[in-house]
Amino acid sequence: MQFTATILALAASVSLAVAQTNPALCGGRTAQCCQLDALDLAAVSCENPSGSPQTLEEFDSVCAETGVTAQCCVLPVLGQGLLCSSP
Protein backbone atom coordinates (compact mmCIF):
# COMPACT_ATOMS: atom_id res chain seq x y z
CA MET A 1 0.00 0.00 0.00
CA GLN A 2 2.76 2.47 0.91
CA PHE A 3 4.65 1.51 -2.24
CA THR A 4 1.64 2.41 -4.40
CA ALA A 5 1.21 5.75 -2.62
CA THR A 6 4.90 6.54 -3.11
CA ILE A 7 4.76 5.72 -6.82
CA LEU A 8 1.67 7.90 -7.28
CA ALA A 9 3.32 10.79 -5.43
CA LEU A 10 6.44 10.53 -7.60
CA ALA A 11 4.37 10.41 -10.78
CA ALA A 12 2.44 13.49 -9.69
CA SER A 13 5.62 15.43 -8.94
CA VAL A 14 7.10 14.53 -12.34
CA SER A 15 3.88 15.56 -14.07
CA LEU A 16 3.86 18.86 -12.20
CA ALA A 17 7.47 19.55 -13.17
CA VAL A 18 6.72 18.96 -16.83
CA ALA A 19 3.57 21.10 -16.76
CA GLN A 20 5.39 24.14 -15.37
CA THR A 21 7.82 24.56 -18.27
CA ASN A 22 7.68 24.57 -22.02
CA PRO A 23 8.21 20.89 -22.97
CA ALA A 24 9.97 21.92 -26.19
CA LEU A 25 12.84 23.38 -24.11
CA CYS A 26 14.26 19.93 -23.44
CA GLY A 27 12.79 17.81 -26.19
CA GLY A 28 10.40 15.95 -23.90
CA ARG A 29 12.78 15.73 -20.93
CA THR A 30 12.19 17.80 -17.81
CA ALA A 31 13.71 21.28 -17.49
CA GLN A 32 15.55 21.63 -14.17
CA CYS A 33 17.92 24.13 -12.55
CA CYS A 34 20.72 22.10 -10.90
CA GLN A 35 23.81 22.88 -8.83
CA LEU A 36 26.05 20.08 -10.02
CA ASP A 37 26.12 17.85 -13.07
CA ALA A 38 28.21 14.67 -12.91
CA LEU A 39 29.26 13.53 -16.39
CA ASP A 40 25.78 14.01 -17.88
CA LEU A 41 24.55 11.09 -15.75
CA ALA A 42 23.21 12.68 -12.60
CA ALA A 43 22.62 16.15 -11.23
CA VAL A 44 22.04 17.20 -7.62
CA SER A 45 20.06 19.93 -5.90
CA CYS A 46 17.67 20.29 -8.82
CA GLU A 47 14.52 22.41 -8.84
CA ASN A 48 11.95 23.47 -11.39
CA PRO A 49 12.85 26.77 -13.05
CA SER A 50 10.90 29.70 -11.63
CA GLY A 51 8.27 31.21 -13.86
CA SER A 52 7.62 29.61 -17.22
CA PRO A 53 10.64 30.09 -19.48
CA GLN A 54 9.66 29.77 -23.13
CA THR A 55 13.09 29.89 -24.78
CA LEU A 56 16.47 28.33 -24.03
CA GLU A 57 17.86 31.81 -23.33
CA GLU A 58 15.15 32.44 -20.72
CA PHE A 59 15.74 28.99 -19.22
CA ASP A 60 19.51 29.64 -18.91
CA SER A 61 18.88 33.10 -17.48
CA VAL A 62 16.32 31.96 -14.90
CA CYS A 63 18.69 29.27 -13.60
CA ALA A 64 21.72 31.58 -13.65
CA GLU A 65 19.89 34.11 -11.43
CA THR A 66 20.22 31.67 -8.53
CA GLY A 67 23.72 30.47 -9.44
CA VAL A 68 22.75 27.10 -10.91
CA THR A 69 22.80 25.68 -14.43
CA ALA A 70 20.01 24.76 -16.80
CA GLN A 71 19.72 20.99 -17.24
CA CYS A 72 17.37 18.68 -19.13
CA CYS A 73 16.74 15.52 -17.12
CA VAL A 74 15.07 12.26 -18.04
CA LEU A 75 13.90 11.56 -14.50
CA PRO A 76 13.89 14.22 -11.77
CA VAL A 77 13.18 12.69 -8.37
CA LEU A 78 13.43 14.28 -4.91
CA GLY A 79 15.85 17.05 -5.92
CA GLN A 80 18.06 14.73 -7.97
CA GLY A 81 18.11 14.39 -11.73
CA LEU A 82 19.05 11.28 -13.68
CA LEU A 83 20.49 11.35 -17.17
CA CYS A 84 20.80 15.14 -17.25
CA SER A 85 22.54 17.28 -19.84
CA SER A 86 22.74 20.92 -20.84
CA PRO A 87 19.99 22.01 -23.22
Per-residue pLDDT of 75-86, as tens digits, reads 888 888 888 888
Residues 47-64 have pLDDT tens digits of: 999 989 999 999 999 999
Confidence of residue 14 (pLDDT cuts 50, 70, 90): very low
**pTM (two decimals):** 0.71
* Domain chopping of the chain, boundaries: 2-85
CATH architecture of 2-85: Alpha-Beta Barrel (3.20)
- The 10 Å Cβ neighbour count of residue 17 is 19
